[in-house]
Chains A and B, each alone.
Chain A
Amino acid sequence: METSVEMVGSVAVVAVSGSIDALTAPELAAAINQQIEEGHTNLVADLAGVEYTSSAGLRVLLGAVKETRSRGGDLRLAGIRPDVKKVLDLSGFTSILKHYPDRGSAVDSYGG
C-alpha cells in the first residue's frame, strides 16, 4: 500500500493505492492522523487506487471520520472501485460517509 498527500485549497487529499489490511492499515492511519494533527480536518481519501480494504482498513476510516468531525471537518471518500464498494456497502460505510465518484467532486463537495 502507498499513500500520498496533496493539498487542494483547504482540502487535504490522501491518495491511497494497493491493499489496506491489518499489515498496512497502521501506515494509512499515520498518514491521515498527520493531516489531522496539522490542522487539516477537511479530508478526502482518494481510493481510486485501492483494490481491497479489510476490516482493519475500515476501522482506520471510521476513526478518521470521527476525529475530523469532532474537529468540525469531515472525511469523504472518492473513486471507490466496485469490489471495495461492495465491502463498504456491506459494512454500512456508504451510509455514514459521504462518497463521490472522483477526487474532484469530493473536493468540490467542501464548497471551496
Chain B
Amino acid sequence: MNSKKVSIVIGSGGIKCAAAIGLVKVLEAEGIPIDLVVGCSGGSMYAALIAAGVTAEAMQERTLFLWTSEIMKDYTSNLKATQDGSLRFNERSGLVDDSVMNERLHAAFDEYRFEGLARPLRLVATDLMRGERVVLEKGSLFDAVRASLAIPLIFPPWEVNGQLLVDGAAVDPLPVDVAIQEGAEVIIAMGFMLSNRGRMRSMTAVQQQLNNIYMNNLLKATYAFYNLAHHAEIFPILPDFEEPLGMFDTDKLPDIIARGEAAARAELPRIVRLLEA
C-alpha cells in the first residue's frame, strides 16, 4: 500500500487503553502495516502485546487476567498506615504490595524480550530520581512494562539498568516524540484524557483530581509541540467515553474496545488516503 513508515502510539489511560485493541483490529483488517509500536503506562501493556503479535481476542483475555482489583493488594491498609505514621515512605515505596501484579505481568510477558518481537517496540518510563524520560527498547519486556505502569505513590517504582523507574505518563503521557525520533512518517496516536472527578470527599481524591489536571495539560502541551514539530502526519485518535471509568471496570471492556474501533474507523479514510498518495 505504501512505503511510509507507520507508527502507532498508545498513551496512558488505565483501562481505557484497551481501546487500542479496537484500533489494531481496524488497521489489521485494512492491511495497514505497523512498522513501530510505542507505548506509555497502561498503553505500554497493549503496545507490548501488539508488538508481540498477540491477537485481539488474546489481548482481551489478558486484560481480564491482568486488570482485577487483586493487583491493588493492601492499598487501603497501607494508605491508612501512611496516614497514622506507622508506614514510612521513601523513593522505593508504593501503597500497593506489588506481588500479585508482578506475578501476573510475569505470566503475561516473561516469554518475550524486545529482541525478536514481531514489530519494533519502544516503551516509555520516567527516571524518578532525575525526572527524565527513559525509552526502553532492549531486554526483558516484563521489566519494561512493569516500570512503565508504575503509577507513582500507588505502585512501587521498578529498577531497570540501575535506574529507578516509574510511570512514563509523568513525563510523556502520549509519546509521539519517540515515534518522531524513530523516523516514523505517519503516526497514529491513541490518547486518553483523564476524567474529572465529581465530588471530592478526601484529600486523596483532591490530590487525584489535581494529578488528572496536570496530566491532561501535560498531554496537551506535549502533543501541541510534537504536532507542530513533526514534518509529516499525526492522526490523533481520541475515543469518546461518556462516563468516567474505574480502574477495574473490565466489565466495560467490550464497550471500550468498540469505542477504540469506532474512533479508529472514523480516521481510517484519511489514513488510507495518505498512505495511498
A contacts, CB < 8 Å to B: 19, 21-23, 52, 54-56, 58-59, 62, 83, 86-87, 89-93
Contact = CB atoms under 8 A, between A and B. Distances in A.
Interface stretch (B86-94, B219-227, B242-250): B219-227
Given A21-B274, A52-B270, A90 B224 contact: yes
Interface of B: 191, 219-221, 223-224, 227-228, 230, 232-236, 238, 266, 270, 273-274, 277
Contact of B221 (A55, A58, A62, A92): A92
Given A23-B273, A54-B233, A93-B224, 12 more contacts: A22-B233, A23-B277, A54-B234, A55-B227, A55-B234, A58-B227, A62-B228, A86-B238, A90-B220, A90-B238, A91-B228, A92-B223
Given A21-B273, A56-B233, A91 B238 contact: no
A19 B270 contact: yes
14 contacts: A21-B233, A21-B273, A23-B274, A55-B228, A56-B232, A86-B238, A90-B191, A90-B224, A90-B238, A91-B220, A91-B228, A92-B221, A92-B223, A93-B224
B214 to A, nearest CB: 16
Of B221, B223, B233, most A-chain CB atoms within 10 Å = B233
Contacts of A21: 233, 270, 273-274
A89 B219 CA distance: 11
A21 B191 CA distance: 20
A55 B230 contact: yes
Nearest to B224: A92
A23 B276 CA distance: 11
Contact of B270 (A54, A86, A89, A92): A54
A59 B102 CA distance: 44
Contacts of B233: 21-22, 54-56
Contacts of B191: 90
A93 B236 CA distance: 15
Contacts of A62: 228
Of B223, B227, B277, most A-chain CB atoms within 10 Å = B227
Contacts of A58: 227-228
